[in-house]
Amino acid sequence: MNKELLLMPNSSWMDGSGNESDIVLSSRVRLARNLVRIPFPNRADIAQLAAVERKVVELLSDIETVTGKACDFIELDQLTSLERNVLIEKHLISNNHVENPENRALLLSEDTKVSLMVNEEDHLRIQCMVSGFDLVEPFRLATQIDDVIESKLDLAFNEQIGYLTSCPTNLGTGIRASVMMHLPGLVFTRQINKIINASTQLGLAVRGLYGEGTDVIGNIFQISNQLTMGFSEKEIIENLSSAVMEILTHERAARKALYSQSPDSMSDKVWRSFGILKYARSIAASEALGLLSEIRMGIDLGIIQNVPAEVFNELLVSTRPNFLQNKKEHANLSQSEINRERASVIRAVLSSLTNA
């Protein structure tokens, strides 16, 4: 495995280059698939899990042909617990994937846009991610990879139900499409609960930065489809896309209202956040992401100029606790030492932007 994967915070799918990237940080499509005659990972024995791994390794060259990128096959039990947690912080694997790392693996393209979790909750979790708002491209790529896999392996499929999955919520299409959105305007104007309630009524799920069961930090939300059965993949993508466009409209209106009603107050709030982060000597993770969120909104509103928006995306990863620990060569840092290291990383990044 390329060690830079664990040491560099940036991923190409979070580089800020995509559509609507001032609000939508990234888009992802994930397909859940299982092999016939092999129990789901939570019921399979070691030999059966190993058999799944071998079958995926045999597909490596075919997947590289589809993606046009070299791919790495990473055995999770060959990584330290800290290194596995860094991959979670980079959104490449899930918490479920590392609970028991033996015979669990990750197939990852060199640009990190394609990741295939092996023996997570399902035998295969195909993930394709891009920067900004674009569900069409990751769906196209995920479907191509799925076609290659299905041409070589027998997948668990029922004519009436669709694809069979470990969790009933993924039955049918097995698709989970999601977008990661930065919504400080809706949070600050206290409209976010209305958006969450409306999204739920449309069959969507609204979750925190790392998906199901995680808290919302830095005003970052993951919006995804909740239903996978009874609808076609196209309908699921279109339903989510329409909802995201509505949320985009409301977020832009909220930001405009906040700034137009009190530009001096908003500017002061943004620059205070910038000042705290530029000079703080110790800062907790949640506070850092909250202040970074305000800075990012200030960049998007033109209050802060000559600071690239992708700095926010970079610091989303480089300030996380496991990434900081790993960067210090696995030093067993205390919480106070992590907070100091986080502040140091942020100071270095913001101080390097001499025109700010």
How far is CA 214 from each of CA 91, 95, 206, 207, 222, rounded to the nearest angstrom?
13, 10, 11, 7, 10
Judge whether 28 is annotated as a binding position.
yes
Judge whether 1 is annotated as a binding position.
no
Judge whether 177 is annotated as a binding position.
yes
Helix, strand and coil percent figures for the chain, each rounded to 5: 50, 15, 35
How far is CA 235 from each of CA 173, 241, 284, rounded to the nearest angstrom?
11, 10, 41
Judge whether 210 is annotated as a binding position.
yes
Sequence-distant (6+) residues with CB within 8 A of 23 are 133, 181, 182, 183, 248, 251, 252, 300
Judge whether 91 is annotated as a binding position.
yes
Judge whether 178 is annotated as a binding position.
yes
Determine whether 4 is exposed, middle or buried from the number of CB atoms within 10 Å of its CB (0-12, 13-18, 19+).
Answer: exposed
Judge whether 27 is annotated as a binding position.
yes
- Are 264 and 249 spatial neighbours (Cβ–Cβ below 8 Å)? no
Determine the 3-state secondary structure of 3 from DSSP: coil
**Dihedral pair phi/psi, residue 189, rounded to 5°:** -90, 5
Judge whether 26 is annotated as a binding position.
yes
CB atoms within 10 A of CB 62: 14
Range list of β-strands (E), 45-123: 71-75, 105-109, 114-118
Instruction: Give dist(CA 44, CA 58) in Å, integer.
Output: 20
Judge whether 279 is annotated as a binding position.
no
Judge whether 83 is annotated as a binding position.
no
Judge whether 211 is annotated as a binding position.
yes
Instruction: Give dist(CA 73, CA 55) in Å, integer.
Output: 12
Query: Which residue matches tokens 């956040």?
Result: 273
Judge whether 212 is annotated as a binding position.
yes
Judge whether 330 is annotated as a binding position.
no
Binding residues for ATP: 26-30, 91, 125, 176-180, 207-212
Binding residues: 26-30, 91, 125, 176-180, 207-212
